[in-house]
Chains A and B, each alone.
Chain A
Amino acid sequence: MESALELHDLTVAYHKKPVLYGIDLAVPSGKMVGIVGPNGAGKSTLIKAVLGLAPVAGGWVKVFGKSYRENCKRVGYVPQRESVDWDFPVSVMDVVLMGRYGHLRLAQRPTARDREIAMQCLDKVQMLPLANRQIGNLSGGQQQRVFLARALAQESDLYLMDEPFVGVDAATEAAIIAVLQELREQGKTLLVVHHDLANARSYFDQLILINMRLVAYGDTVEVFTPEVLQATYGGRLTLLDDVAQAMARRPALDSDRR
């Protein structure tokens, strides 16, 4: 079966930020996968590297067998909530409609059908009554639901979500999980960065455990063991850290040439 997401020897290097080092991964479609690791392990960076938002220093990424650029319409993205300015003058509906932009040509207006899809997605996360609110007037959980609705509106096959459960209330967390499970039933693939080990086990079919390098990847029941967790959370490897820092300096120079 074709992999939804395939990473080969992926190395990511920021100027002074955590890096990822030689990640090999092949995620089959139809799975709900959690990405777990300590702070600064590069969980978000992994997602950003797939999306081309982080500088890839080596290796490659394939989405459904093609490069990300070619297949970007099949990928939906939920960024971290803090990554945007919530004072921005847009309404909830405007934000969800942005999910349709990938399917529209440059300078093309969203059609009535796009609006209808956006409404349905809002309804799915129970936010339809607030469609005309400015996004800053929402609670944290509601803001996260808006981002989820936007990703739904993308109608993708692979969803990448960056910490969707941070700072949301219990009701929202349950609602989001219900939507994610429904997506999985439809055969979509989900990669979710998650920070809470307590419920990682019950939420996900598979887990990716990373701490700058891939520690383990597999079915949750197999990899969620004390040994693997110890290997993931038991401190960074000093030598790897040093070498990775040195690597980080080199690509920064290479990027000048580009």
Chain B
Amino acid sequence: MSGSKKKRISTASGWQMLVLGGLLLLLPTAAQAARISELVDTDFAQRAARFFTFQDASLRDALLGSMLLGGCCGMMGAFLVVRKLALMGDSLSHAVLPGVALGFLWHLSKDPVAIFIGATLAGLLGAGTVQLLRRTTRHQEDAALGFVLAAFFSIGICLFTMIQNLPGSSKSGLDKFMFGQAAALGREDVMLLAVVAVAVTMAVTLLFKEYRVTSFDPGFARSIGLPVQALHYSLMLLLAFAIVSALQAVGIVLVSAMLVIPAAAAYLLTDRLSLMVLLGAAFGVMAAASGAFFSFAGSNLPTGPFMVLSAAAIFAAAFLFAPRHGWLTRWWRERCQAARVRRENLLKAMYHALEQCSFITEQISVRELAERRRQTLEEMHAALRELERHGLVTVAADRSVVSFTPAGWQRACEIVRNHRLWELYLTRSAQYAADHVHDDAESVEHLLSEATVMQLEKQLNYARRDPHGKLIPGLADIQRGARVTPRDTEAGGML
């Protein structure tokens, strides 16, 4: 009791230390806050140190902004992925470009609020156009999305070049919207980002139940009287928010990556939408922060590509190593399974060898076993060594004969029992011919669970003989162990 209390106190003081330290770091930097681009140290390590000590106010803004947008995008991305709207994200993120340009034209400066409003409107207009195209033409969804992407983006590009040719306008601010520059995030941008993040989080939390049911089964959602269309557009509005919030740091071209990739990684790791939203947000934050770091440490490289590459690394890890859906984990599982099947087949061959000599001896010659399995002696020795490692057989010292351990005997009996029960089931219940059931049973014998076997036995009235007249090992034989031969061996020994 007192121990845990003490521990809690110590962790609390640890936190306080951290916060205090952070505050101490803040004090001097307020005075020497410099634009990141003005920094002159070019050493990678120096820049990395600078990054992690959070010395510059502008750097803190950039990092905070990146993390906010990463979280926002990851959260919305989860819905995009489960609704199969990933390409809608791509389309809308290109479609906001004319809105950005018009927002810029409002004051001829990079006013975050004007750009935000312009881009959101353009995004919604794009989403509406997709729906309209779908409803009034026979074009498929992909064509409609492609058209919106193309048409809006080209208008944006034209406006963009027109602005560049305007006398007296600085094009530097707008340029960053293409590939992103987290360093360009100012204090107002971060404030706006924070507002957007809070708004998106609130909307998602409040309407989570509705978004879940409309995403899973829109027909059912309509049938219980939910405003499915309105919810769809509200989701598109939130999506536009997320896209616009990410524009500056990630860039128009790559926003869709920040939407989809973290969420797709989360999709591989969890079976719950709520968890997926949280994980997506967490991955988004991680990717954005590390992207910002690499961009800063590598002397002001564009941020967007590095954020996307970090996200892609997270996705690749999930794709390969996810506990249930990972590619490598599944490959490994299949390999283990194949090895198990090989082991079980060898055990079965040993059982057959014993059966053939009516269980008179307990020992099987390795040579005979090798002939039976059509393998060379070396291969057989290797296979037996593996069985020995699993504690299923004991090989004699001169490696010429082999016998079951109790565990091995039990497993062998189980496999033979599964095989013969399945053969019997197929001939009796599915009316297969007796000579057509062996191959099927070969694969099924390794898959039957204990419960299924019980059911099978019950359905077959605890039959003792398989369709070929061989004895099916019963529970009693399995439990009695290798020392005692199965009953009725006089009949069971025949081929």
Contact = CB atoms under 8 A, between A and B. Distances in A.
B158 interface: no
Interface stretch (B220-228, B399-407, B431-439): B220-228
A127 B207 CA distance: 28
**Interface-centre pick from B82, B220, B222 (highest chain A CB count, 10 A):** B220
A166 interface: no
Interface stretch (B15-23, B55-63, B210-218, B313-321): B210-218
B173 interface: no
Contacts of A106: 207, 210
Given A53-B223, A98-B217, A255-B135, A89 B209 contact: no
Contact of B276 (A69, A89, A150): A89
A199 to B, nearest CB: 21
A84 B216 contact: yes
A72 B216 CA distance: 19
Nearest to A50: B223
Contacts of B221: 101
B275 to A, nearest CB: 8
Contact of A107 (B207, B225, B275): B207
Interface in A76-91: 77, 79, 83-85, 88-91
Contacts of A89: 82, 267, 270-273, 275-276
A184 interface: no
A51 B226 CA distance: 12
A91 B219 contact: no
Contact of B209 (A77, A91, A110, A256): A110
A94 interface: yes
B325 to A, nearest CB: 10
A79 B219 contact: yes
Contact of B213 (A101, A108, A134): A101
A104 B220 CA distance: 15
Nearest to B228: A53
Contact of B217 (A73, A84, A134): A84
Contact of A101 (B84, B224, B267, B275): B224
B216 A90 contact: yes
A101 B271 contact: no
Nearest to B272: A89
Contacts of A53: 219, 222-223
B382 interface: no
B206 A154 contact: no
Contacts of A248: none
B10 to A, nearest CB: 37
B219 A83 contact: yes
Contacts of B226: 101-102
B223 A95 contact: no
B217 A109 contact: no
B2 interface: no
B209 A109 contact: yes
B136 interface: yes
B9 to A, nearest CB: 35
B206 A79 contact: no
A256 B135 CA distance: 8
Interface in A37-55: 48, 51-53
Interface of B: 82, 84, 135-136, 206-207, 209-210, 212-213, 215-217, 219-226, 267, 270-273, 275-276
25 contacts: A52-B223, A69-B225, A73-B224, A75-B223, A77-B219, A77-B220, A77-B224, A79-B217, A83-B217, A89-B82, A89-B270, A89-B271, A90-B212, A98-B212, A98-B216, A101-B210, A101-B224, A101-B226, A102-B225, A107-B206, A107-B207, A107-B209, A108-B209, A150-B220, A154-B224
